[in-house]
A and B are shown apart, each in its own frame.
Chain A
Amino acid sequence: MTQTKASKRIAILYGSETGNAHDFASILSYKLRRLHFAHTLSTIGNYSPSHILNCKYLFVICSTTGQGEIPRNGQERSDGTRNNTLWSFLKRKDLPEDFLSHVHVSFLGLGDSSYPKFNYAIKKLHERIVNQLGAKELFARLEADEQCLIGSNKGTGAGIEAVYFEFEKKTLKYLCDTFSLRKLNGELVKRQGISTDLYLEPISSLKKSDETENMIHNTEPPRFLGDDNVKIGTVLNNKRITAEPHFQDVRQFVFKGIEHEEYYPGDTISMYPCNSDEAVNQFLSLQPHWSNVADMPLEFNHGIPPDLMDGGLIGKLTLRGLLKYHCDIESIPRASFFMKIWTFATEIDKLERGREQLEQQREKLRQFAYDEDMQDLFDYCNRPRRSILEVIEDFGSLKLPWEHMTDYLPIIKPRYFSISSAPCDPNIELTIAIVKYKTILRRIRKGVCTEYVSKLAIGDSFRYKVQNKGTFHHNLKKKSMILVSPGVGIAPMMCLIRSNICKDISLFFGNRYKEHDFLYESTLREWHNDKKISLYTCFSRDKENSSDIKYVQDNLWKFGEEMTRKILNNEALIFICGSSGKMPIQVRLTFVEMLKKWGNFEEDEQAADYLRQMEKNYRYLQETW
């Protein structure tokens, strides 16, 4: 996209880890385009610091990662370089306090309050940009909480999407109030959004390639171009490590890269999954007019959309290839999906009741797109975890134009897994729980990526990247460590224990049944017997093997005196890993109680302060999902 001077005046910058901030930034960008506002959309990392001088209106959407940090794409460029990014520039000590006085800014933070460093990234950006460098805030920032416990949606039961909508509403209102007119062919006209029944053509669309008329048939493994950081891994082992009758399938997944990989405890692998051929074929059968073009070579008319570059774009561009490797057709649709596609509900022929039913379908799709009360959308899509594919199946009137598919179909995002193998071991090991669950939908729900992983066989290859997170950067030598990791939270602990950086490790591990899902039982017992670790186990549904202790926090309490001593006398490091939600909160409360009972802290507040201090010094780490 070419940048005009005007388009630099308004910038939407995002820092995104799992993709929510990216999604919301894209939706805001789309809304601005519908209102004829030229603007820049970029990750914070890719935004050139020199553009900030021309920026007047800045909208920042950022999640928080790791131990209260700005996500990777907020700190570095897509090519992995970190010097002279906007954020490293703005942190310069010599900037005057009115450096950003020409900027009007607003912030939206996305966070999860089960992390103690809730929304720290947006708080840091806010403090620096507004309070220290003098940018003017258009309205007080919003902080979304996945748990709805604190932040802007505290106690409302409304999810992070509702917080985004509030941000969007305020932003659009401000811009429309301030710039109520626009120039059209030299004339001033009232600024009006493009009518909702018009589809806004994306910046770049697909067309049949001029070069060749030949169909492309899959004879060789696909190649992915344009992302130098993406690597190809080969599967060495993919073994189920929970007992067969147990409901949960957990895999010990081992692979090898082509080059040697450098990684340390807490680092993760991002995997780029793809859709199954069944899903792709089903999509094509639901949109029969796509079928005869499905294998034709295609190209983009105005360049490759940047979102497609992460992980590399499939070398031979076809509808089938894009559906399989890039378009997230098994994801749950957002309101913005309906906003883009509802006008394509045009086909009467497929409907048993003709025009009446067509109108009914159009109205319903429109309602999912624009209803402020998102209850219907929530009940139809989010609650039962309905996929885009299933929505298209239900709405027979949808006749989607393939030319714009990368605009209205979301892009598949990588998924992150903690590394379990010893640091820098060329055989990289992951511990992956295969996601499967029931909702009211007849078909069992499956995680797109873990379903993909579960089907990978030895010798298969896949795309990945290594994320060096520097989790233990500040803690190279610690006398003691207390590791708390129920379930698959054990994954990074395996790497940490294998790294031998600490001689006194207490591992609190928990699962449901001793006989079914005691992950890495023999290895852990061996380490315990060799005094490499002290292992404390509990099994929440297993009265026989764990009668008095249900959860990891109960076990912590049981050995509270000893652990408190380690914390206070040995400056032990605490690392909590596992499922987000109540576990990390309960564990934290348990530490507070321990400090009070055995650590001479009289009040809750003092104990909590001590934990906050530990966090600040990177002695209290948490990795939950």
Chain B
Amino acid sequence: MTEGKSALVLIHPAVTTTPEKVIKVAQEAASEGVNVEDQFLINKLNDESATLAKGKYDVIYYITPESAEEIKFPSKLVPVIADSLKDGGLFFGLSDVYKVDALINGFDISRDKERYVWKKNSTNLSQGPAVIPLKARNKNSAPKNLPRFKKSPSAKLPVFKRKSEEPVKIARHIDDLDDDSDEEAQQFKAQFLKNLEVADELIEEEELITKNDQENDGITMITCKMTKTKRKKACKDCTCGLKEQEENEVEAVRKKQDTVVKLTDEDLTEIDFTIQGKRIGGCGSCSLGDAFRCSGCPYLGLPAFKPGQPINLNSIMDDL
């Protein structure tokens, strides 16, 4: 700990690819006698995997590559940031886009050495009603299109547990993770692993299923961008006709195959290249295999082949 001012740096995930920006901010802070004590990815705060101590910092910097007008920031974190600042503390990095949030949460917006900054009021606003222009309050001001900021899956309020508070740093590489484990806590936890042989009381597995779990909530839904068409597959005991439709399609393709596959005298199979126009279709892809054939190709369902050579007999013979 130094005698100087204490600072926190919050980082937009996209900045992690340009660590020099972070270093620059830290250097500038140092030149003003401010010491960067903690550094968090903003999404860690947002998903509550990192928590902030109250009234700890003199200055908080938010580093983002976004332009001032286009900043997307989770509004719910503004009060969290306000809480973690000392009275009169400074918050750099947001813009007037979040003006209302600033005012609600007891910030004054001002310029400090020609820089745009929010300053935490020294009077505690939460004791009196804040006067804010209601018009400007947009109910849907929660940021959209920001996939990194996931809503917390649990409906729980943020809990600031001392015990689980670990300084989460931007690890420069995986080994950095070794440094930040809380030795004391780990030693405490290790006790439980010492007497593995002792038969302890176990929780009832059935009780782990709560009523909520039977509903379909609190899970991530896939954003399915990939299906051009629904991959509907007939059920095994299909009654809706889909199965017949599938079977008909299969039969139609197999019928077409019959026009190009024939049994020879020796009961062997070969592609009949004598059929006019079938040797290589107009598309020129018949011989290349199903991955390249057209949807109506009579060779569909047969292996790739070299024109003029019999098709690989082993692969289809046993079922003809």
* A394 and B311 alpha carbons, distance in the complex (Å): 11
Q: Which of chain A's residues has its CB closest to B43's CB?
A: A177
Residues of B within 8 A of A352 (CB): 287, 306-307
The secondary structure that dominates the B interface is: loop
In the complex, the answer to whether A442 meets B205 with C-beta atoms within 8 Å is: no
Assess whether A128 is interfacial by the CB under 8 Å rule. Answer: yes
Rounded to whole angstroms, the CA-CA distance of A278 and B303 in the bound complex is 17
Complex Cα distance A532/B174, Å?
A: 65
- Provide the residues of chain A in CB contact with B225, threshold 8 Å: 372-373
Q: In the assembled complex, which residues on chain B have CB atoms less than 8 Å from the CB atom of A444?
A: 319
Of chain B, the residue at the smallest CB distance from A157 is B230
B103 within 8 A of A: no
Q: A6-B177, A37-B174, A396-B304 are in contact. Are A158 and B226 (CB under 8 A)?
A: yes
Q: Are B227 and A157 in contact, with the CB atoms below 8 A?
A: yes
Q: Decide if A9 touches B314 in the complex (CB within 8 Å).
A: no
Q: Mark B26-70, 1 if CB is under 8 A from A, else 0.
A: 000000000000000101000111000000000000000000000
Q: Across the interface, do A159 and B231 meet the contact criterion of CB distance under 8 Å? A: yes
CA distance A313 to B223 in the complex (A): 41
Residues of A within 8 A of B266 (CB): none
- Interface segment among B13-21, B75-83, B128-136: the answer is B13-21
Size bracket of the A interface: 35 or more
> Contacting chain B: which of A136-144, A420-428, A520-528, A558-566?
A136-144
Q: Given contacts A5-B178, A38-B174, A177-B16, is CB(A440)–CB(B249) below 8 Å?
A: yes
Pick the contact of A154: B154, B216, B312 (CB < 8 A): B216
Q: Within the assembled complex, what's the spacing in Å between the Cα atoms of A500 and B148?
A: 59
Given contacts A156-B222, A166-B222, contact A442 B316 (CB under 8 A): yes
Q: B222 touches which one: A69, A153, A191, A378 (CB < 8 A)?
A: A153
Closest Cβ of chain A to B48, distance in Å, is 7
CA distance A69 to B209 in the complex (A): 11
Could you say which of B257, B300, B312 contacts A393, with CB atoms under 8 Å apart?
A: B312
Contact assessment for B224 and A151 in the assembled complex, using a CB-CB cutoff below 8 Å: no
Specify which chain B residues have a CB less than 8 angstroms from the CB of A38 in the assembled complex. Answer: 174
Interface check B232, CB cutoff 8 A: yes
Out of A101, A142, A180, name the residue touching B163 (CB < 8 Å): A101
Find chain B residues with CB under 8 A from A56 CB.
Answer: 177
Count how many chain B residues have C-beta atoms less than 8 Å from C-beta atoms of the other chain: 93
Within 8 A of B (CB), among A572-603: 579-583
Cα(A507)–Cα(B26), bound, Å: 75
A364 touching B292, Cβ below 8 Å: yes
CA distance in complex: A180, B154 (Å): 28
Given contacts A93-B201, A581-B235, A583-B237, contact A137 B47 (CB under 8 A): yes
The answer to whether residues A92 and B222 also contact, given A178-B171, A442-B261 and a CB cut-off of 8 A, is no
CB distance from B39 to the nearest CB of A (A): 12
- A395 and B13 within 8 A (CB): no
Nearest CB of A to B222, in Å: 4
Our pick among B206, B208, B218, B226 for the contact of A374 (Cβ within 8 Å) is B226
Query: Which residue on chain A has the smallest CB distance to residue B188?
Result: A96
- Kindly report which residue of chain A lies nearest to residue B231, judged by CB atoms: A157
Q: Return the CB mask of A52-76 against B: 1 if under 8 Å, else 0.
A: 0110100000000000110000000
The smallest beta-carbon distance between A274 and chain B, in angstroms, is 18
Residues of A within 8 A of B (CB): 5-6, 9-10, 37-38, 49-50, 53-54, 56, 68-69, 83-84, 88-89, 91-96, 98-99, 101-102, 104, 120, 123-124, 127-128, 131-132, 134, 136-143, 150-154, 156-159, 162-163, 166, 170, 173, 177-183, 188, 190-191, 278, 281-282, 285, 352, 357, 360, 364, 368, 372-376, 378, 380, 384, 386, 390, 393-396, 438-444, 551, 579-583, 612, 616
Chain B residues within CB distance 8 Å of chain A: 13, 16-17, 19, 41, 43, 47-49, 148, 150, 153-154, 161, 163-164, 166, 170-175, 177-178, 181-182, 185-186, 189-190, 192-193, 196-197, 200-203, 205-206, 208-210, 213-214, 216, 218-232, 235-239, 249-250, 253-254, 257, 261, 287-292, 300-304, 306-307, 312, 314-316, 318-320
Knowing that A101-B163, A102-B186, A182-B174 touch, tell me 15 more A-B residue pairs with CB under 8 angstroms. A37-B174, A127-B208, A136-B47, A153-B221, A154-B216, A157-B227, A158-B224, A177-B43, A285-B314, A352-B306, A357-B288, A375-B231, A442-B316, A581-B237, A582-B239
Please, could you name 19 A-B residue pairs with CB atoms under 8 Å apart, sorted by A? A6-B178, A98-B161, A127-B209, A128-B208, A136-B48, A152-B219, A153-B221, A154-B221, A162-B222, A163-B222, A180-B16, A357-B288, A360-B288, A374-B226, A384-B301, A386-B290, A443-B318, A581-B237, A583-B237
